[in-house]
Amino acid sequence: MNNNFDLTPEQTQRLLNIAGEKLGADPAQLQQQLESGRLDQLLGRLDPQRSAELSRLLKDPEALRQTLSSPGVRAMLQAMLGGRRG
C-alpha cells in the first residue's frame, strides 16, 4: 500500500480552507505557519487535549506516519480531497 500523500496545489488549498473554517483562521496564515514550522498559534486554537495530541504527533514522525496510514484517516483525507490523489 502506498502511504504517500502527494497533494496537488488544489488539494492542499482545499485542506487549508477546511482547516481554516474549522479553526476560524485565515487559510493563508495557516499555510505560512505550517511552512515556517511555527505552530504555536495553530495549536493555541485547539482545545488542550487535541493540541497535546497534535504536538505529540508532530514530534514523533513514526507516530504521525502510522496515524496517516490508518484506513480511517486515509478514507477521510481521500473524501475531503474528492477521492483523488495527486
Within 26-70, residue ranges assigned H as helices are 27-36, 40-44, 48-59, 61-69
How far is it, in rounded angstroms, from Cα 85 to Cα 78? 7
Each residue of 56-66: pLDDT tens digit?
888 888 888 88
Give Dmax (Cα) for the chain.
35
Higher pLDDT, 86 or 56: 56
Each residue of 24-48: pLDDT tens digit?
889 999 899 888 888 888 888 888 9
Residue 13 · residue 81 · CB < 8 Å: no
Per-residue pLDDT at 4: 56
How far is it, in rounded angstroms, from Cα 72 to Cα 32? 28
